[in-house]
Amino acid sequence: MSKVIVITGASAGIGAVLAKMLAARGEQLMLAARSAKELNQLARSCGRDTFAFTTDVTRRQDVNRLRDEALRTFDHVDVWINNAGRGITRNVLELTDDDIDQMISINVKSALYGMQAIIPHFQECGTGHLINVSSMLGRIPFATFRSAYNASKSALNALTANLRMDLRAEYPNIHVSLVMPGAVSTGFAGNALHAPEDTSPVPFGQTPEQVALAMIDLIDNPRAEVYTNPTVQLEQVKRYFSDVALFEEDMRR
């Protein structure tokens, strides 16, 4: 049976690839992003069960309208994916107030708005699946030029875990999941705040298709956390938390 799935940040990158893959297997989709032209083109390419709704996820009222539009169109939502996000290319001592505000607004508050918009619907239904797309850098902040991005994703990790614990006892059929990609070959680096004009390709990066496949498996088999490249990422996590100083020295070298 097909699922109704809402995806934010769907006009490009991982979100767009995920939308195409989900549409191909017959899911019903509501896609959201600020880029209306690209979003509408994507929705048309996905087929008649995919709809676009132009949304600025940094505005709570926009996120609430997205939820209302999804419910008006489909009557219910099975899966809500907070995928919108943006990076930064600036070290800690260079950060401005505006840098911090943008990273929190785009990467944390937008997901919070999504959680607060859709979870009451899931509670009414007694079931549902919320997926927050974070980053490996929210757990191991070894790319220091991502600074405030790393911090914002750490905050998102904590909010996700707290929400899951809040719901666990009374709503065991509402799943709250965190997805942590590593390096991914998309336009993310070039779209980061303060990104240099000449952005090199991502070394050893996963393709967005690989990340999307991991997310589809998560939809089919809900669990708390997913590293999209577990072979590499889990080893790094173990090394980092077993000896932070040694890990940082290795990174410096």
Q: What is the pLDDT along the chain (253 residues), one digit of tens a residue?
A: 899 999 999 999 999 999 999 999 999 999 999 999 999 999 999 999 999 999 999 999 999 999 999 999 999 999 999 999 988 999 999 999 999 999 999 999 999 999 999 999 999 999 999 999 999 999 998 899 999 999 999 999 999 999 999 999 999 999 999 999 988 877 777 777 687 754 555 566 899 999 999 999 999 999 999 999 999 999 999 999 999 999 888 877 7
Pairing between β-strand 225-227 and β-strand 174-180 as defined by DSSP bridges = parallel
pLDDT value, residue 1: 86
Which residues have CB under 8 Å from 3's CB, separation 6+?
A: 27, 28, 78, 79, 219
User: Which residue segment(s) compose the domain that 61 sits in?
Assistant: 4-252
Residues in the chain: 253
Q: Are 22 and 42 in contact (CB under 8 A)?
A: no
pLDDT value, residue 98: 97
β-pair partners for 132? 82, 178
Active site annotation includes 149: yes
pLDDT value, residue 197: 54
Burial 138-163 (b: 16+ CB within 10 A, else e): bbbbbbebbbbbbbbbbbbbebbeeb
Whole-angstrom distance, CA of residue 142 vs CA of residue 148: 12
Tokens of 243: 């000896």
Q: Are 138 and 182 in contact (CB under 8 A)?
A: no
Catalytic residue among 113, 149, 227, 240: 149
**3-class state of residue 69 by DSSP:** helix
Whole-angstrom distance, CA of residue 15 vs CA of residue 44: 15
pLDDT value, residue 251: 79
Q: What is the CATH number of the domain that holds 140?
A: 3.40.50.720
pLDDT value, residue 190: 73
- The amino acid present at 114, given as its one-letter code, is G
Report the domain count for the chain. Answer: 1
Order of strands across the sheet with 128-133?
Answer: 50-54, 28-33, 4-8, 79-82, 128-133, 174-180, 225-227
